[in-house]
Structure 1
Amino acid sequence: MNVNVLLEDDFPPEDDDQPRIRPSIYLAELMLADAIPPAMQRDLTRKRSIVIILEAPSKGWFELLQTSVRFDFRPAELITREEKLNKNAALTQNHALRTSIEVGHSLVAMVTDAETQLSPELIAAADYRVRIPCPTNAQLKATLRAFYGNKRIGKLPPDIGTKLHASVIFSAMRPGENAGRAVARLTELDRRIRLGLASNSSDASRPSLSELTGYGAAKDWGLALARDLQAYRRGEIAWAELSTAALLHGAPGTGKTLFAGALARSCSIPFITTSLGQLFASTDGYLSSLIKALDQIFKSAREQAPSVLFIDEIDAIPNRASLDSRHRQYWSSLVTHLLKLLDEARHGVIVVAATNMISHLDTALTRAGRLELHFEIKPPTANELIGVFRFHLASRLSEPELIALAQLAQGSTGADIAFRSKVAISDARRADRPLTFQDVAAQFLKDDVDGADLRRIAIHEAGHAVAALALGRHVDHASTVSTGVRAGGILTDGVGGIGTRQRLDDQVVIMLAGRAAEILMLGEGSSGCHVDLALATTYACAIHGSFGLGAALLQRAPANDAARALADPRFREQIEAELHILDERCMKLLSDHRRQLMDIADALEQRRTLSGDELRKLFACPPRNSPPSTARSSGSSIAGRSTTQLALASSPSTRRPMTPGAAASSLCSTATSSCGASCCSTSMSSSALSSWIGDADTPGCAGAMMPSARHH
């Protein structure tokens, strides 16, 4: 192919004052010439009858390349298609294939995705199938030289041809200017499109995947996809070879939206986000309006392809199996249409959906070919928390201070940390001073819990921790720091493995242990135990009504909805009796470990959070010489104890509550000794029951003390 001859013969300039080439045609010719293999060029030169499939890198380049293909491959028959194949199009393509070969002509099919736009017969008959990559920087520089006459061209942004739409690239090359102005304009366009992509997130400083801490298998998938997308742009692999659909599930605030945005940034592609709530807010709520809005979202994603389409809170689309007859027709139509759109969006669009309750999803959404990859996004581990704080605060605080904050924030989500860090930074800025450790720590301790309530919370969480450790469970941490509506919590490894009757009974005992500890040490329980009771009841119902581990084999309900069997009075009485039996076992277990219960409660009250290593050390400590403390009233003062590394040593009569600032300073001062080591070595795991008991607030969370009504 002679580029200069083609341009001068077929596209002569309108007058001698204008450039002698058109950059769009020149670049298209370079892209074609570099993509066509030598054997295909020889067959074309010898005028052999061959069948060729050309795949444009995107719709933006399709029209441009199509113009050049019409001239370069004449007199071959040309088929072009941008839409998905239908029956009439398949018949037309097969007819063109047959007639072209019969008369000895070549046939060229120009598409963006052969698998979805061409008939199987035409694909099978193809002698050559060529994917044309996006323009390289070398091709862009050659175009600039030819257009402006410059021999030397300045440095272009990396892979600029893969990031910008064809029309945007050529808008930078203007007659009457020089190559330097064009390069500067392309550099500015690259900067602006990066900022534009970031601004689609609520946080303009959104990290890339490589900057994210944690995320496990989901991050591995995202990084691999970013690499594969680059290979696709270079024409090395087809889009069908990419893994382009995933479902993120996990507790609220764990960073699912952040991950999707980071994926788009790592891939340098547009980020489109939606949710059912947004669709309802932007329409009148009628079915036809919702379907049109869904169509528009998917159309926008296809027009900006390659792109990431993020569907948040997809569990708001109900499971058709759970619908009653009154609502089935409305929702079934919407679900069916969404499934159709997901099937049609396989080329050029990376679909990522998020849910807090994966068990509530329609099974058709999660099957292979749709949202086929499932990644659980868990709260950050101790090590990962340090990385999260480092991302938000590294330039402002020292590494030991970040380690101390990570210990204080155990159990917090990435969203918690981002929000509280922003508030602390804002407070320091308004005070016209640098950010300090105490500014950030105070955000995690600012829960308005008085001494009596804090003592109760510490005993409650200590009860969960002692029961879990006594029953051989791994405990990641315990905390009395408020996160959301919880006033504290511990994280365990849940049931672990296959849920036998013994393991599940043990899990119920651990859930009941917070309430039992309050009764044992303070004389009565509190309303903050209601979440524990709800989870314990759900597990007990699943044991006897779903798993066949009780006296009956009949499954009354699925495990994630086992509590509905409580409508049967006899079953309700059975569960009540079972819970009382396990509660008595729990009380005996804590009574046998009263000393450990007190030690852990004292340390939690003083330190506010303890790592798994610290908990295990306290649990393993031999009894001290002094007898165990008697039950205290809810108004007793805070008690602190100290060993070499953990808590404080003082007489019960002289103990005082620590202020947030004092607690923060104490925490920071020990962060580089025992705290830093244990914080860095602890890892978090989740409950095997998360797939069974789908409605549990936090899989693997043995219990959480809820604040009283005035703290909500």
Structure 2
Amino acid sequence: MDIALRNNLDKYISRLQEVARGSRSISLMALRKGSENRTAASKSATLFLAYCALTSLLRRIITSLAEPSCVAIIDVPETWQLEDVVEAAKFIFKDQKQPRVVQHPRVKHRRGWEIDTAELLESKMLIVFVQEGSPVHEDFELAVTVRDRLSPCEPRHIRAISQLRGCGEISYDGAKVIAQQPSTRMEAIFRFGQPAQRAVSRLSQGNSRQPQKEKIRHVDISKGFGAASLWAMDLKKDIQEWREGRLAWAEVDKGCLLYGPTGTGKTRFAVALADACEMALEVGSIAQWQAFKDGDLGDMLQAMQQSFTAAKENAPSILFIDEFDSIGDRKKFPARHATYSTTVVNALLEALDGVEGHEGVVVVGACNDPEKVDSALVRNGRLETHIHFPMPDAASRNQILAFHLPSLADDPALKEIAGRLVEKSGADLERLSRDVRRVARREGRVVSIDDLRKRLDPLPVLTDEQILQVAIHEAGHAIAAEMLKVGKVTKVQVFDNVIHFSDDLEAHGLTSIELSQPAFETRWGLKKLITYHMAGSAAEEVFFKDNSTMAAGSSTSDFARATKIAIRMVTEFGLGTSRYHLPDSIDFNSPLDLWQDHRLADEVNTILHEQYGRAVDMLSGLDTWLKQFAMILAERKVLEHRDLRDLWAQLRGYPT
């Protein structure tokens, strides 16, 4: 029996015995009598496996359940009966009033749903179990806080129940064979005192004679993920050579940090990576570790160690640690939590170093903000490879839609639709595809490209006046870049949403520039960059004597970029009025940090006002040029590099 199994078996047995004592339909004596007893034993096995699966899932979503109000939708695989899972959930929560557990109807009748959502949604915490593939009440779809999938029959749980019932040890591969069976087969597999491995052999023989079930489709890690695809293919090749004995484990990459916005596919990529490399996948997270047992420091460290132990025992494996940035940085912990948090980081460092001594384990972390991660965790020798997962561009969105809607993959209109779905994450596109498939399924037909078109939100068509304002704004950026020599302008665009659409940003216009890459920055160089970012709004003020919201409103807007540069000038580069050096002193995701430091706020404000004024002064002296540039842009909508080169020559009077 493996270490993780030994550590948890006593707890599982104790819990199962509690189930037997507490259930009206099961008793300890009944487990030893007749054919009805075998049915009761089957129910106990199913309840045991459902309990284990629910416990793992609840740990994963515990942060959502801890919210003041939560509606959780849990998809249950078709091979498992909802009744068994609901019974296990009621056992876990015993007589507690919260959360409220609901079994969702499998179908919607002509007279409507046989469920009162208004009454159910009055509960502060509601867990709705849905048969996978079944429709969900529209009210639950609107109110859902978190949605996840139950994964019953984890191999470690199957191996535990086999030991519990005296059915002998089962190999990891054998447990995977059993995991593919419906819950109704557990009686035949786990008869008391009968070897479960015999059932595994018979199942394997039967599978070899029958057509194999369709394998779960994973995303193609070899394309569509940029740098991540290159790293993944290198890892796959190294793992294969290591298996063949042609490569020492010391030569294999041991860790990688995937970072980027929520919903960009980091978790899906990790799952597909494990499948492509034919490695076991162990999943953990800070929230999951903290939810273990009572959640105190000792329990959390034990849960963390169990994740690493399981990964080592199932090697070759990938240990995927989600929400890696929630681990934190020892330099930034509040004093009252410093001891606890520092101990967690130190334990994780020790665990990562311990992986060095165990072949076959690759650690993959995923987070939204790598700047929140302790630098020691991501240095060379630990999670040394860092790969950005941006929001998918138009080409990547096309690939994602083609994956989820394979019948439309060759339709040329799919590329056009993907281009219209600006700033949609991989998760957004998966949800869109699921909705489209549901509509077609209910109508008894295949998905069509028109199903997708109907889901597109109509874009506002710009008037001539609005097009001119956008053109003035982008002309300001382009002229400032050219005059200040901050980089090479490659394209300037206006999106009218009739013929010209934005592919990658929710924007009305865009100035594309290849910024200069100096060996080091200067005070004047950074100020010129701030002037460039603020020149769009300054151009509007020069021409219209007014400003619009085009320069602000998001973390990637003109003003946001200018503000971040000014903050770094003051806090990191010593280019403010003081020479102090305070790296990482400002959390750019928490604007309150800036406003609470009045001295810093005043100094940053001074820099921004100064450079905005410089942009206004510069463009005021070039107002005729600004107008001519904008009029040409408003007419053509797109100015490529060649057009710009000719335009600079025409307007400035020097030869190309």
**Residue 226 in 1 paired to residue 252 in 2?**
no
Distance 1:329 1:300 in 2: 27
Equivalent position amino acid for 1:505 in 2:
K
Which moved further from structure 2: 250-259 or 432-441? 432-441
Spell out the pairing of 1:100-119 with structure 2 (5 A cutoff). Answer: none
Identical-residue share of aligned pairs (%): 29
Gaps (5+ residues) in structure 1? 1-161, 199-204, 605-612, 624-712
Spell out the pairing of 1:161-560 with structure 2 (5 A cutoff). Answer: 164=173, 184-185=206-207, 195=215, 198=216, 205-210=217-222, 212-216=223-227, 218-281=228-291, 283-346=293-356, 347=358, 348-396=360-408, 398-430=410-442, 434-445=446-457, 459=469, 463=473, 467-468=477-478, 471=481, 472-474=488-490, 492=512, 495-498=515-518, 499-513=521-535, 515-516=537-538, 520-521=543-544, 523-526=546-549, 529-531=552-554, 532=557, 533-549=559-575, 552-558=578-584
Distance 1:174 1:254 in 2: 43
Distance 1:503 1:423, change over 3 A: farther
Shift of 1:226: 1.4
Give the TM-score of the pair, scaled to structure 1.
Answer: 0.51
Matched-pair contact (CA < 8 Å) for 1:245–1:372: yes
The residue matched to 1:445 in structure 2 has which SS? coil
Matched-pair contact (CA < 8 Å) for 1:254–1:378: yes
Which moved further from structure 2: 521-530 or 362-371? 521-530
User: Could you list the per-position Cα deviations for residues 456-510 of structure 1 after superposition, in whole angstroms to 9, with x for gaps in the alignment?
Assistant: 7995697358615751344698778899996778585674523444553344234
**1:593 aligned partner:** 626
Distance 1:503 1:288, change over 3 A: same
Matched-pair contact (CA < 8 Å) for 2:489–2:512: yes
Distance 2:407 2:206 in 1: 31
Distance 1:351 1:399 in 2: 39
Distance 1:568 1:383, change over 3 A: closer
Distance 1:186 1:277 in 2: 41
The residue matched to 1:209 in structure 2 has which SS? coil
Shift of 1:307: 1.3
Distance 1:622 1:527 in 2: 25
The residue matched to 2:408 in structure 1 has which SS? coil
Matched-pair contact (CA < 8 Å) for 2:289–2:300: yes
Shift of 1:352: 0.4
User: Could you list the per-position Cα deviations for residues 226-271 of structure 1 after superposition, in whole angstroms to 9, with x for gaps in the alignment?
Assistant: 1222222233333333222111123333322222112111112222
**1:21 aligned partner:** none
**2:610 aligned partner:** 581
Equivalent position amino acid for 2:224 in 1:
T
User: Could you list the per-position Cα deviations for residues 339-360 of structure 1 after superposition, in whole angstroms to 9, with x for gaps in the alignment?
Assistant: 1221223422211001222122
Distance 2:205 2:492 in 1: 54
Matched-pair contact (CA < 8 Å) for 1:600–1:619: no
Give the TM-score of the pair, scaled to structure 2.
Answer: 0.55
Distance 2:378 2:275 in 1: 25
Distance 1:462 1:424, change over 3 A: farther
Distance 1:263 1:407 in 2: 27
Distance 1:545 1:343, change over 3 A: closer
Distance 1:343 1:474 in 2: 46
Distance 1:269 1:441, change over 3 A: same
Distance 2:641 2:502 in 1: 23
> CA-atom RMSD, angstroms?
4.6
User: Could you list the per-position Cα deviations for residues 28-65 of structure 1 after superposition, in whole angstroms to 9, with x for gaps in the alignment?
Assistant: xxxxxxxxxxxxxxxxxxxxxxxxxxxxxxxxxxxxxx
Q: What number of residue pairs does the alignment pair up?
A: 437
Distance 1:518 1:291, change over 3 A: farther
User: Could you list the per-position Cα deviations for residues 99-126 of structure 1 after superposition, in whole angstroms to 9, with x for gaps in the alignment?
Assistant: xxxxxxxxxxxxxxxxxxxxxxxxxxxx
Distance 1:172 1:266, change over 3 A: farther
Shift of 1:293: 1.9
Distance 2:465 2:205 in 1: 66
Equivalent position amino acid for 1:423 in 2:
D
Equivalent position amino acid for 2:377 in 1:
L
Distance 1:569 1:379 in 2: 34
User: Could you list the per-position Cα deviations for residues 603-645 of structure 1 after superposition, in whole angstroms to 9, with x for gaps in the alignment?
Assistant: 88xxxxxxxx76658867969xxxxxxxxxxxxxxxxxxxxxx
Distance 1:504 1:219, change over 3 A: same
Matched-pair contact (CA < 8 Å) for 2:478–2:489: yes
Equivalent position amino acid for 2:363 in 1:
V
Equivalent position amino acid for 2:613 in 1:
E
Equivalent position amino acid for 1:213 in 2:
G
Larger radius of gyration: 1
User: Could you list the per-position Cα deviations for residues 552-596 of structure 1 after superposition, in whole angstroms to 9, with x for gaps in the alignment?
Assistant: 544354486598577665554443232123223444549543455
Spell out the pairing of 1:650-689 with structure 2 (5 A cutoff). Answer: none
The residue matched to 2:363 in structure 1 has which SS? strand
**Larger RCO (alpha carbons 8 Å, 6+ apart):** 1
Matched-pair contact (CA < 8 Å) for 2:254–2:381: no
Matched-pair contact (CA < 8 Å) for 1:307–1:349: yes
Distance 2:292 2:535 in 1: 47
The residue matched to 1:581 in structure 2 has which SS? helix
Distance 1:598 1:502, change over 3 A: farther
